[in-house]
Chain A
């Protein structure tokens, strides 16, 4: 029964993750520590957001739980916002939208950028030049401006925002994959595969993709952080996802109006949460890029 085997494999993977992380941290020095620290940070934030209905002290969307604009105190450890909502509860519950947007946009980038990069660079010639030209022009353009234009055109919503962000970052995937494929393409084992008459699909999937995979993981992780920051930026410009659930980006934007009154807690805590989330992914990406691909360290991705 093949499916039994599969289930067993899955279980063993899950069981080995935690000791695996610890051993990575020990063996690989600073890079390993970065990965582990980033992973833990990210995991904690995701877990907090996921479990928020169970652990919030107040209903995060309910107004007038406390007096408006209370500074942090014993009852409301992070204060209240301008309509008297509990900031602590909003912080605990506010990561959902951003995580969803980032996740979907990275998924879109993977689904479009990776096959396109493989296909174009393997095909070469006019096809390659055509796609490279388009990707390079998008890449060279200020990302957030493109994202603004697209999210305007597409309208609001998690998926639309994710698409707008994905448009900006597909070229990063395309370029990394292309440069790798171009260097792999000429190697003898690909020639060998060609000479025994392997199909293009087989070559791309079986021979080239595994070599490119580490870079894809690195770009994807770093990109997650970028996507979160871009999503926050779009929300700040006023193009956010209109939701009635709490959102750090929205709170931060809301806090801008309240700045002159000196209520620092309304902006500080959501801002820190966004930084921590982006930092988790950045650290993982940094560490992974050093672990998986030591040569990539110098330039960085952006």
Chain B
């Protein structure tokens, strides 16, 4: 529980520091609007499943995860 609280506090701190970054108005976001600048999942469904089987860690991706399919 202490670890979780620490992580949340750290995240909040980093989030607030993010708010201190350069304010970029909408008309200066030509580069940010490029399709490759989306911070979505880079791996497709098949690739994501391969990583889920090969690695013992989870998280950091989509909020919803399906079954394992590896047994």
- Asked if A pairs with B, the answer is no
